[in-house]
Amino acid sequence: MSKLFDLCNKNVLLTGASKGMGLAMAQGLVNHGANVVVSSRKLDQCEKAVEIINESIGKEKAFAFSCNASSKDELNALVDFSLSKLGSITTLVCNAGVNSFFGSMSEIDDESYDKTMDTNVKSNHWLINMVTPSMKESGGGSIMITSSIAAFHASETLGAYSISKLAVLGLVRNYASELGPSNIRVNAICPGLVKTDFSKLLWENPDAEKASSQKMPLRRLGEADDFKGVAVFLASDESSFMTGQALTICGGASMWS
């Protein structure tokens, strides 16, 4: 029997994982054998997600823990919990993110700017440093951070968000260089417009959804399930020679040029 994409020896910590893309990735990872800790700000949503995952496979492979990703103390508690439940952390999925302001950069207040950068960039920097000791003890690991195709373009209304997601690519590149000698791979996932609660304002109107989808070569918006396979690939040994990359999953909305 083929062992391709076998994750039975992988222990995964996921942030922003109680719904949408994060939940889909958690489901995909568990279905391929991984043990996962599901984290987001609200414990009840984490527990509901874990219940769904564990019931689907008939065993306890997922565990819930609430954490505000912008809090260093809470992230430390999340890592401690994960190590206590899993024994080690071989894979980290940083999917938590916010967009706290819609409008021009000339109008954004300091609080909104700081919240965007702290949650989308600094929290990932903290978390990487917290989990890498366990990965090094395990002989290596895989880290993936959710960026966005917004990183590739300027925006008159999502400027701070776009800047934060571009900074994520810089974070990925630098950590890939620093951690490569320890056999720890670091990659970014760059979604296009995906039908989740996070982007609901951009697609819940049928006319807006149609207009957006018609601009894409595949003529549809992304779905959360489109990211299951990406997470499984990056967590698996089949991506062992890939690091420092930005995987763009966008239906062709943003192509290499």
Query: Among all residues, which ones are annotated catalytic?
Result: 161
72, 119 Cβ separation under 8 angstroms = no
Angular region, 232: left φ>0, alpha ψ -120 to 50, beta rest: alpha
Q: What are phi and psi of 205, to 5 degrees?
A: -80, 125
**CA 166/CA 145 separation, integer angstroms:** 12
Helix, strand, coil share (%) of the chain residues, nearest 5: 50, 15, 35
DSSP assignment of 208-246, as one string?
HHHHHHTTSTT-S-B-GGGGHHHHHHHHSGGGTT--S-E
Packing angle of the helix pair 72-86, 123-137 (nearest 10 deg): 30
**CA 171/CA 129 separation, integer angstroms:** 12
**CA 150/CA 157 separation, integer angstroms:** 11
**CA 86/CA 148 separation, integer angstroms:** 30
Q: Which residues contact 58 (CB under 8 A, 6 or more apart)?
A: none
Strand-pair partners of 144: 93, 187
